[in-house]
Amino acid sequence: MSNLNQRKAARKPDAQRYAHFNKNFCNYPMGRDVRHRCNVKRFTNSNRPYLDLPTGEVRFVFSLDSDPSLHRYPTGGEIDLLAQLMAMAKIRGTRQLDFPSKQALLAELGLTGRDSNRKRLIAGLDYWASVQIHHREWHVKAHRPKIEMRIKPPLHWRAMGKGIRTTISEEWMRINYEGGYFIDVHLPLPHHAAGQNLALMMRAFKPNNYLDEFPRRSIATVAPKLGLNSRNHIGRQLDIAVKHADVWYKRGNGYAFLYYRDGEIVAGTEDPKAEPRRRVKRPKTTLVPAMADEFEG
């Protein structure tokens, strides 16, 4: 569901929702690109498949009868789906949500009803109904010891004729709306997984949205948490992620600017485009064949 088509969406300007997100899901973001390599393993006693985040803090445990295609990390679109269902449940005052059709649910999400979106919608619902999330270092509140947390599947769903009924788990609502260790995020979240992860990490660091004090983040510290594990073109990937997070922040408050420069992510309240970069002309050099091997090794 990472590539849900958000063009020509029927979302109204006043339909923007907000959801509470536990900070643990922001400090250790879960979204990954659908092409991300997954090293699926199985427990020796129960034979249940599981999958660890490369950073090691989060484990995804799947049910035995789950489809093998679901044995992967959640995509950015699937996390947005869960967040929006959670926000709808809070607004309506009930964890059980009924939709007359798949297209009606997609319209609520601000998405088109094309066939590809419907298939990804069902895949997203199946995913959240079959996965358990295990946190090895769960913060209950700031300045308290970390605990191990095991969360049951966030939702259950079933088809009702052409319609869909979803039920958000009571545990999931309690984790995100009680305990005081959460933040508000405006919806929809970026469907680009790395961009979404970056937006949530920054939102948890500065809950008041003022990013002028946000510390510079280097590739070495940020890339693993964002899900950028490829050494090839990682700078370009990070630049794309920053742009997605920047668009999300501008839509929410209108005055945050993010940009990637010189191997670091920089946040501020001034548009970096106002300060053009200096272009240094590099002299063209030509290696003489006889000297080409002098500096190798």
Say yes or no: 196 and 185 in one domain. Answer: no
Q: What is the pLDDT of residues 225-235, one digit of tens each?
A: 888 865 656 77
- 183 inside domain: yes
Would you place residue 111 in the very low, low, confident or very high pLDDT band (cuts 50, 70, 90)?
A: very high
Number of separate domains in the chain: 2
- 294 inside domain: no
Say yes or no: 143 and 213 in one domain. Answer: no
User: pLDDT value at position 56?
Assistant: 86
Main-chain phi, psi angles of 24, to 5 degrees: -65, -35
Say yes or no: 275 and 203 in one domain. Answer: yes
CA distance 230 to 237: 9
- 138 inside domain: yes
How far CA 58 is from CA of 23, 91, 133, in Å, comes to 14, 29, 7
Say yes or no: 31 and 175 in one domain. Answer: yes
**Structural domain harbouring 223:** 192-280
Would you place residue 198 in the very low, low, confident or very high pLDDT band (cuts 50, 70, 90)?
A: confident
Structure tokens at 97: 């949500």
- 290 inside domain: no
For the segment 16-42, the average pLDDT, to the nearest whole number, is 89
Which residue has tokens 């979204």? 31
- 60 inside domain: yes
Would you place residue 283 in the very low, low, confident or very high pLDDT band (cuts 50, 70, 90)?
A: very low
Q: What is the pLDDT of residues 89-108, one digit of tens each?
A: 999 999 999 999 999 999 99
Say yes or no: 153 and 217 in one domain. Answer: no
CA distance 29 to 197: 5
Residue 205's nearest CA partner among 193, 195, 214 is 214
Say yes or no: 125 and 269 in one domain. Answer: no
Which residue has tokens 């699937």? 78
- 291 inside domain: no
- 88 inside domain: yes
Give the burial class of 88: count Cβ atoms within 10 A of its Cβ; 0-12 exposed, 13-18 middle, 19 or more buried.
Answer: buried
What pTM value is reported for the model? 0.80
